[in-house]
Structure 1
Amino acid sequence: MSARVNPNGKLAGKVAIVTGASRGIGEAISARLAQEGAKVVASARTAEPGDSRLPGTLHDTVDRIKKAGGEATFIKADLSNAQERERLVEETVATYGPVDILVNNAAITYFIPVIDFPEKRFKLMMEVQVYAPFHLSQLVLPSMIERRSGHIVNISSGAGIHPKPPYSGAGRGGTVYGMCKAALERFTTGLASEVAQHNIAVNVVSPGLVATPGVAVHGLINEQTKDRVQPIEYIAEAVFQLASGDPATQTGGIHYAAPFLKELGREPAELV
């Protein structure tokens, strides 16, 4: 494997929080940012084996980075809880210093038709996928504004695009998920317009279909979709490019990972 950590990379000295980092896309993003010298705080609810029915833990993510020579730690946090979100940022600052990069990747998702969707699950999805990114941004922005430097990257989905007729009636109960991602994208562009004057970039990366444990649980990869599966490196690379880009020219974007990298003329880096 040729991938390695460059302690003097483009993100040297930067402090990054990545949520939903115990597996899948969040783990890959954490590794990619660490490869470029960032000090990464990986956060999720799954710290130890047995914390989740899905494979992958925060220990695994941090061990992967440290074995490659990178700098990382983890902070277990339930992002549906405001106090946990506040603690995540406070402990990050105490450990590494002010936050330079915030990647809002955490999600909890239920695919249920609207007519059957329980209020409790609706509120949980909105809290984790919409309000948590909003609140975490509020928590890191004062320091970013003071230092006139910062990058926020929100992870969205093609589900945020409006369905188009003719409607087949064969939807998978993804309306609430789509609502969350559409709201996250509108938050991104709105916040970008508010903080551009402070040299802070706010962008979205929208992954394609990626073979992650969460995707497997929901059965989203099948005979009809398998040809659309995208390597996870594409998403990690797109996030890195946005987390290291010039806020003056690269902000307020809803970027689809593969076309975005093609536009930049970049190939995804191999991950440690």
Structure 2
Amino acid sequence: MTDSLKGRTIVMSGGSRGIGLAILIAAAKEGANAVLLAKTDQPDPRLPGTVHTAVAEIEAAGGHAVAVVGDVREEADVARAVATAVETFGGVDIVVNNASALNLAGTLDLTPKRYDLMQQINAKGTFQLTRAALPHLFASDDAQIVTLSPPINLAPHWLGKFPAYALSKMGMTLLTLGFAAEFAEKGVRANCLWPQTTIATAAVVNLLGGEDAATRARSVEIMGDAAVALLTDAERPTGQIFLDVEALARSGKTDISEYGGTDDPELDFFVDSL
């Protein structure tokens, strides 16, 4: 086992932009390899970046990366991403379940089609990518799963806001905690990572309040650094849910001023206090 990411291979769902890309760039600076499974083959006028521009940024940061254009909902695409990691880099050491669909509609306003989309990307995608990678994780000397999903917060003020979204995200968390227990004897560790505050991504700007909301958010780099801290944590935790600031604090980093935000940051979903 090692506390270094040099030569380790990450398979991630999503990662073309935002938090996922920040994690892969931070890992690339430590020498990691990456395979990204994402649908973003062509630019979207509303959102910057494609899976191809992400690869270029990762390699500019010092890592090696391969893009796989595909959908985490499709079993064949997931299998192709895992096979690409094995063929290109010799195996899989880390799975990062990053791809996620966000729909904050209440029950009466959310169509069954939109409900299915969210459950399939979030919970099913986490299950499907992890399952496909498991035979190769078993062969790694330090196998890890990191899922970007929240604390299990059953407070009515959260559940009542958007039950379907809460189910999909907490489903990702429950699966990950389950993987930690199910595969502990196989040497696979699994943890969840979630931002304490909102993060200044395109989703925040486009869906959650525009530029004003972004000024109360921290930069994506906090999640990249937190993920690296978690993946290289000397105590080798498993079966836990960490906020980004908690993962950083475990590595000795408590001054987070470099990540911006304000004196009154906006807490992320399912988080009740700083």
Q: TM-score, normalised by structure 1?
A: 0.84
**Corresponding residue number in structure 1 for 2:247:** 260
- Tell me which of 209, 213, 217 is aligned to 2:202: 213
Report the equivalent of 1:230. 218
Give the equivalent residue in structure 2 for 1:181. Answer: 169
Distance 1:86 1:186 in 2: 23
Q: Deviations over 1:134-154 (max 9, x none)?
A: 111111111222345301100
Query: For residues 164-204 of structure 1, what are the alpha-carbon distances to aligned partners after superposition, in whole Å with 9 as ceiling and x for unaligned?
Result: 4599x8x4xx3221111111111111110111222211000
State the one-letter code of the partner of 2:99. A
CA distance in 1, matches of 2:200, 2:188: 32
Q: Which residue of 1 aligns with 2:272?
A: none
Aligned to 1:190: 178
1:43 aligns with 2:37: yes
Aligned equivalents of 2:165 and 2:55: distance in 1? 29
1:139 equivalent among 129, 132, 142: 132
Is 2:150 aligned against 1:161?
no
Is 1:148–1:200's contact at 8 Å kept on the other side of the alignment? no
User: 2:70 aligns to what?
Assistant: 77
Instruction: Report the number of matched residues.
Output: 255
Q: Distance in 1 between matches of 2:72 and 2:99?
A: 8
Deviation string for 1:196-235 (max 9, x for gaps)?
2222110000113001012222124675x56751221221
RMSD: 2.7
CA contact (8 A) 1:18 1:29 kept: no
Q: 2:221 corresponds to which letter in structure 1? A: E
* CA distance in 1: counterparts of 2:20 and 2:120, whole angstroms: 18
**SS where residue 40 of structure 1 aligns?**
strand
- Cα 1:152–1:222 change in 2 (3 A) is same
Q: Which residue of 1 aligns with 2:237?
A: 250
Taking a change above 3 Å as real, the CA distance of residues 226 and 217 of structure 1, as seen in their structure-2 partners, is closer
Q: Name the structure 1 match of 2:118.
A: 125
Structure 1 residue 103 corresponds to structure 2 residue 96: yes
TM-score (structure 2 length as normaliser)? 0.83
Q: Following the alignment from structure 1 to structure 2, what is the Cα–Cα distance between the partners of residues 212 and 156?
A: 16
Contact 1:148 1:198 in 2 (8 A): no
| 2:57 aligned partner | 64
Name the counterpart of 2:17.
23
One-letter code aligned to 1:216: V
Q: Distance in 1 between matches of 2:47 and 2:214?
A: 21
Structure 2 residue ranges without an equivalent (≥5): 260-274
Q: Secondary structure at the match of 1:238?
A: helix
- Closer, same or farther: CA 26–85 of 1 in aligned 2, 3 Å: same
What is the Cα deviation at residue 242 of structure 1? 2.2
Amino acid at match of 1:259: E
Q: Would the alpha carbon gap of residues 59 and 146 (structure 1) be closer, same or farther in structure 2, given more than 3 Å must change?
A: closer
Aligned partners of 1:113, 1:147: CA distance in 2, in Å?
42
The aligned amino acid for 1:199 is G
Separation in 2 of the partners of 1:166 and 1:256? Answer: 17
Q: Say if 1:152 and 1:243, in contact at 8 Å, map to a contact too.
A: no
| CA 1:147–1:24: 2 relative to 1, 3 Å | closer
Query: Percent identity at matched positions?
Result: 31
